[in-house]
A and B are shown apart, each in its own frame.
Chain A
């Protein structure tokens, strides 16, 4: 049903953005992760409330640097701008940006469980939704 044998039917056109989705229980909390690849950004949604929650933009620095990986700056676009959200954001998706050729990340984060183990486990769920 998903094939595009009907070439002229716009209904059947192949999607140009790819998404991967996982529903998993992380440290006892039902969690949903959706990763969507755009050419300019990767959108990562990590939610334990079913909502977008806080929206954070992560931008790798554009300054060429041969010695180490580019520094990533975080900016809260929507929601409460508290220090912890920046820490979570960097911990969760810095690797995504790096693996995606230093692409900026848009992260939607709504967490109930804010433990270190939780973040570690979430990272693995994000990795399993690799679209980059």
Chain B
């Protein structure tokens, strides 16, 4: 689509998309790096927390840790873990929505996966 994103070329790609869920416009911002991914989710442009997850050989569940913000809010952690398992990359997630209901976060996750399928080169 755009030039040749030669596989393995370390060029960082940026990608934005959004979805309207439960009367709320949710924005996504993705930065694809070499073997890693940064994903921001929010309705307003703030960055309140950050978690990272990565696969390891000892456990099928990726390890994750909270890097910034309220450590008792595990939404970013969980999402990072699930995306790390799917992509096999190191995944940074910043989830900045008030709604952390699991039904809602599942919709968020599905929207991300849908975008991943449509634009695999962006993730």
| Residue positions of A touching B, CB distance < 8 A | 10-11, 13, 15-17, 19, 21, 23, 30, 32, 34, 36-41, 43, 45, 47, 49-52, 55, 57, 77-78, 106
A34 close to B31 (CB less than 8 A): yes
User: How far is the CB of B110 from the nearest CB of chain A, in Å?
Assistant: 14
Q: A19 near B29 (CB under 8 angstroms)?
A: yes
Q: How many B residues touch A, CB cutoff 8 Å? A: 32
Flag if A10 contacts B25 (CB, 8 Å): yes
Residues of B within 8 A of A38 (CB): 40, 45-47
21 contacts across the A-B interface (CB closer than 8 A) = A10-B18, A11-B17, A13-B25, A17-B27, A17-B45, A30-B10, A32-B12, A38-B40, A38-B45, A39-B46, A40-B47, A40-B48, A41-B47, A45-B31, A47-B10, A47-B12, A47-B33, A49-B10, A52-B36, A52-B90, A55-B67
User: Which residues of chain A are within 8 angstroms of B35 by Cβ–Cβ distance?
Assistant: 51
- A10 contact from B19, B33, B42, B65, Cβ within 8 A: B19
Complex: A51 Cα to B89 Cα, angstroms: 11
Q: Per DSSP, are chain B's interface residues mostly helix, strand or loop, or mixed?
A: strand
User: Would you call B18 and A13 a contact (CB within 8 A)?
Assistant: yes
Which of A13, A39, A51, A78 sits near B45, CB closer than 8 Å?
A39
Q: Which chain A residues lie closer than 8 Å to B46 at the CB level?
A: 38-41
Which B residues are in CB contact (< 8 Å) with A78?
Answer: 52, 65, 67
| Alpha-carbon gap, A13 to B27, bound state (A) | 8
Q: Cβ of B52 and Cβ of A106 under 8 Å apart?
A: no
Q: Roughly how many angstroms separate A55 CA and B17 CA in the complex, as a whole number?
A: 25
B16 in contact with A15 (CB, 8 Å): yes
Q: Chain A residues with Cβ under 8 A from B40's Cβ?
A: 17, 38
